[in-house]
Structures are given as C-alpha cells and as structure tokens.
Amino acid sequence: MDSHGQGSTGQRAKVNDVVSSVVTGVVTDILPSAMYRVRLDDGGQVVQAHVADRIDRNFVRVLVGDRVSVELTTDVGRGRIVRKI
C-alpha cells in the first residue's frame, strides 16, 4: 500500500472489515434493519449477515430458504451476503 492507504488497484483498504473466509449457507430468518440469520453448511453455525452493497444496488431479493455465499469477518457470528446461489 502507498502512503494514502490505497493498494495497487486504487481501492481504499477497510481496516474494520477484514474478511476471513467465504462459505455457503441457507437463510433461516429475516431480521429488522436488513439483517439476515444464515445457517452455514460447514458445522451448522448460525451467523447474522447483512447484504453487500452490490446486491442491494441491483435489487436482489433475499428470502428465507435461499442459498447464499457469505463472507465471514474476524468478528465471530457476523458476515456479509455477497451472492445468491
């Protein structure tokens, strides 16, 4: 990164939002404030996730029972839905 906090692609690095892995799961519940409860395929762990900006801008609807890809953050139990499968 250069001195302005940008990588070689010109995108700003986000300090608080470190992605640890991308996993798949099933949406089990819709929560207030555009949050979702997702049961992950590996181990059955349940996490709370919000929708990534790219999906939200394109008006993709996420419903209970949809299979989704989730980016998990280093904060346990949180994630971001990045794609419907």
Residue 6's pLDDT is 53
Is residue 49 classed as helix, strand or coil in its secondary structure? strand
What is the sign, positive or negative, of the torsion defined by CA atoms of 5, 9, 50, 76? negative
Q: What is the mean pLDDT of residues 25-46?
A: 95
For residue 16, pLDDT beyond 70: no
Question: Quick check: 56 pLDDT over 60?
Answer: yes
In a 13 Å sphere around the CA of 33, the CA atoms on its Cβ side amount to 2
Mean pLDDT over 42-54 rounds to 93
Q: What's the pTM?
A: 0.75
- State both tokens at 15: 């300090």
Q: Give the pLDDT band of residue 13 (cuts 50, 70, 90).
A: very low
Looking at residue 17, its pLDDT comes to 59
Give the model's pLDDT for residue 75: 83
